[in-house]
Amino acid sequence: MQDRNSSHDNRREHDNSQDHDGRVALTIVAFLFIGLVGYILVNRLHIRTGQLVEGCLYLICLFGIVFTTVRYLMTRREKREKSWPHPAIRIPALKDRGHVERSFQKNSIVLGYDMHGQPWLWPDEIRSMQSILLGKSGFGKTTLLRNIVGQDARRIQGTPASPRRMPMIILGGKGDPEFPDSLLYDFAAAGRLQHVRLLDPSRPDLSVRYNPLYIGEDDSYQEHVNFIFESFGLKDDFFKGHQASYFSDLVRVLVHTGKRFNIYDVLVMAFDPLVLREQIELAAYRAERLSGISLQRKLNLQMSVKNLLQSLQDQERVTKIQGLLNELMTFLVDELSIITGPYDDLLTLDEVIDKDLILLISLNPNRNTRAVTALGRILLQNLQLMVGKRYEGVPGRRHEALPMLSVVLDEFEPFAYPNFARILQTARGSNVSFLFSLQSIPQLETVSKSFRANVTSAPNTIMLMQTWDKDSAEYLQNAVSQVPGERRTERLERRGIFSDRYEKTGSVSVTETRENRVPVEHINRLPRGQMHLLMADTKGEPRYSHLHVRRPSEARLACFQPKLYPQIPSPNSRADGANLRFKDAELVRKFPRISGRKNRERAYEVVI
């Protein structure tokens, strides 16, 4: 081993001596050439010394300019990559528009530009494998979301014979009206303002109507009942199973009556035995006389009727289902009931896809916390059910044939539930793009640690802006992995008689190490509008880049402000709602909140 090292050192010394001799010979040749040129210019061409000096100065200046330019062009990429913080870049508007148009032809959008000014494309194939955006407020998350939403609004899918616009669902969990209002300018510029629908309990005059208990002809009422009940988040107590079964029985009876119903109708049935018996009779009458109802459905209805009638014999009937009733009562808040109470002119998530609509959902969990949180969970549960239906699809139909659905969930953790993570397993096969936007990773632990693990391990695109959260920084560093590095150690000698001092010996040792590709400093001090991006390409290999977020156009007309107008009621509205009211006078006195004065007078007339 020692002989091999000594031979290697001897070979290196021999190579160094040859290089030194070559440089000396080249220098001698250069001086001889310069001397020969000078001799020819002075003695043969009779150029004066002053002219020769002036020409030499010009040549030196020219050589300096050429050398500096070439050196700058050769080293500018390396200097940009090593510089910190990275300076902001400016892309001309026309050039940026050209990049966006070309990305649409490749079924992609422009996320941003790298430090060299090159566009970074985000293909639909990668988007359908989910993505997550992390970062503090005020450092460009809203700008990035506007960039993504604005480009999606302009895209055209399908074939030239049957073009389609991209349907979109955007949920804002902060309840900030500025974000949806700012998006209206992008939708107006894309010519899609007529496709926008707003669902905001704080603005019922502009909001669409969404009845959680609306069940379509081809939908399963049992699935709706299950996800609505789970959205209440009731504790796992002794009566939870009884409450779920009771709720299912009430809905089954109402479904067989053939009328549309809402949460108010369910409450009236649960409280008033007279109304309950009346609806049971109507459901049984229709089940026996209408064709198309299978024997098993009739048997299931009989079982539900038996269960409900038997519960009327229990004096503690209302007490055992009080938890269910309390959750349903939260939807009777005046502003919220305007949205969730109607029977007609309703909006469904299936309609958003079929009609290529844009649904803006703005929920403020700080106002009427229980009801708004339950509504947000119902919407996510409904979304999960819709994705599951798209995943099953039509036999023999590939998911690429489905129109891509863009879903943006900004600060969605107040409405998340443990089973929501399962949606990530079927979203890709449904051609649905999910973008989760959060301030930090620990926010996901409000649901559970397993929920955090499932959500953070699924995305194929990770975007991180400035954050001081340790878990978020380590999440990106672990995903990006490490790169080879070197650690240099220099030897020192202690010298001095009366005092110790250390001097360098000139001996240096180099050790190969592994270090983080993205240092913590580059995360904690990341400038506004920049982000770290880790994205898997079509082959599954990770690609890392430091991007400058593309800024959407801010060009606006002072004389134009896009607005959403109140929904116009349909002229042929159906009047087949259940419209249940109390018929027990004692219940009218006991529950004036959900009966009203007119209902109280009507109940007296019926009973007396």
pLDDT of residue 600: 39
pLDDT 10s digits, 491-546: 777 776 667 777 777 777 777 777 888 888 889 999 999 999 999 877 767 889 99
pLDDT of residue 594: 53
Answer yes or no: is 403 within a domain. Answer: yes
Q: Low-confidence residues of the chain, pLDDT below 70?
A: 1-21, 236-238, 391, 393-401, 496-498, 540, 569-575, 585-608
Total tally of structural domains belonging to the chain: 1
Answer yes or no: is 135 within a domain. Answer: yes
pLDDT of residue 497: 67
Answer yes or no: is 443 within a domain. Answer: yes
Domain span at residue 148 reads 95-188+397-492+503-569
Residues 520 and 474: beta-carbon distance below 8 Å: no
| pTM: predicted TM-score of the whole model, two decimal places | 0.81
For residue 59, the surrounding DSSP H or E stretch is: helix 49-82
Looking at the DSSP assignment, which residues form a beta bridge with residue 169? Answer: 359, 407
Q: Give the C-alpha separation, 513 to 535, whole Å.
A: 25
pLDDT of residue 395: 45
Residues 337 and 264: beta-carbon distance below 8 Å: yes
Answer yes or no: is 477 within a domain. Answer: yes
Do you find a cis peptide bond into 85, omega within 30 degrees of 0? yes
Residue found under tokens 């002989």: 3
Answer yes or no: is 229 within a domain. Answer: no
Any residues with CB less than 8 A from the CB of 275 and at least 6 apart, and which?
A: 268, 269, 580, 581, 582, 583
Residue found under tokens 């070309």: 102
pLDDT 10s digits, 252-306: 999 999 899 999 999 999 998 999 999 999 999 998 888 888 889 889 999 999 9
Q: Give the C-alpha separation, 103 to 122, whole Å.
A: 9
pLDDT of residue 155: 93
Report the CATH number that the domain containing residue 546 is assigned in CATH.
Answer: 3.40.50.300
pLDDT of residue 55: 80
Answer yes or no: is 131 within a domain. Answer: yes
Q: Give the C-alpha separation, 401 to 430, whole Å.
A: 10
SS3 state of residue 45: coil
Residues 384 and 415: beta-carbon distance below 8 Å: no
Answer yes or no: is 482 within a domain. Answer: yes
How many CA atoms does the CB half-sphere of 28 hold within 13 Å?
6
